[in-house]
Structure formats: C-alpha cells, structure tokens
Amino acid sequence: GAVVSQHPSRVICKSGTSVKIECRSLDFQATTMFWYRQFPKQSLMLMATSNEGSKATYEQGVEKDKFLINHASLTLSTLTVTSAHPEDSSFYICSARRGGTYEQYFGPGTRLTVT
C-alpha cells in the first residue's frame, strides 16, 4: 500500500514552453501533497505545499506564478512549470501525506530538461 505515482517520468521541452507534471496517490487519500526539487548531488528542497481544495502555499524564493500547483482531488496534484528555462531543469519529486498521519510517501520523480 501507500503508492504514489508521477507522470511523466522524464520530459524534455524547449525554452519558453510549459510542462505539467501529475502526482497521484494510488491507494490512499492525501489531503496534503508536497512538491520538491532536487538538483544533482543535493538534498530535496521543498517548493510548495498543496492542500486539496485550497491554494498552494509556496516556500520563500519559489515563484508561484512560474510553478502553478493545482490539487483538484484527494488523489491528484499537478505542478505546471510555465515558460520553462534551462535553469528550471531539475528532478521534481512529489510526496503525499496519508490522511490522519504524519507519514509521507514519495513519487518516483520527474526529470525535466529544458533545452
């Protein structure tokens, strides 16, 4: 149990285009999902917290107009990188918190390359 999926696993896009990444909790309900970014050889950095039915909260320094988050249901959150630039190239990971617990489960990640 406690499986989280992400789609796509890998995406290459041209500079200036937008990319949407989906995060789904497959076998549990997640009122809260989190989006992280990880650069090579570094730890995970939290970008934003996504709560079902309400606006996402963003960490300091993360542009909310560039990284659009939608948490439309208890099992789906999406991250859209708008007007992507090469510096947005990174590994994006989502996690979902099982309702009523402190436990978080992570998706397999999406590797974004902007050319």
Partner 1 sequence: GIQVEQSPPDLILQEGANSTLRCNFSDSVNNLQWFHQNPWGQLINLFYIPSGTKQNGRLSATTVATERYSLLYISSSQTTDSGVYFCAVLTTDSWGKFQFGAGTQVVVTP
In the complex, the residues that contact partner 1 under the rule CB under 8 A are: 2, 32, 34, 38, 42-44, 46, 49, 91, 93, 95, 97, 102-106, 108-109, 111
Residue-wise DSSP of 89-100 = -EEEEEEEEPTT
Strands 110-114 and 10-13, by their bridges, are parallel
Shortest spacing between CB 57 and partner 1, in angstroms = 8
| Contacts of residue 59, Cβ cutoff 8 Å, sequence gap at least 6 | 45, 46, 47, 48
The smaller minimum CB distance to partner 1, of residues 3 and 83, is found at 3
Q: Nearest distance from residue 108's CB to partner 1, in Å?
A: 5
Distance in Å, CB of 16 to partner 1, minimum: 26
Instruction: Identify the three-state secondary structure at position 80.
Output: strand
Nearer to partner 1, 83 or 113 (CB): 113
What is the rounded CA–CA span in Å between residue 110 and residue 92? Answer: 5
Shortest spacing between CB 49 and partner 1, in angstroms: 6
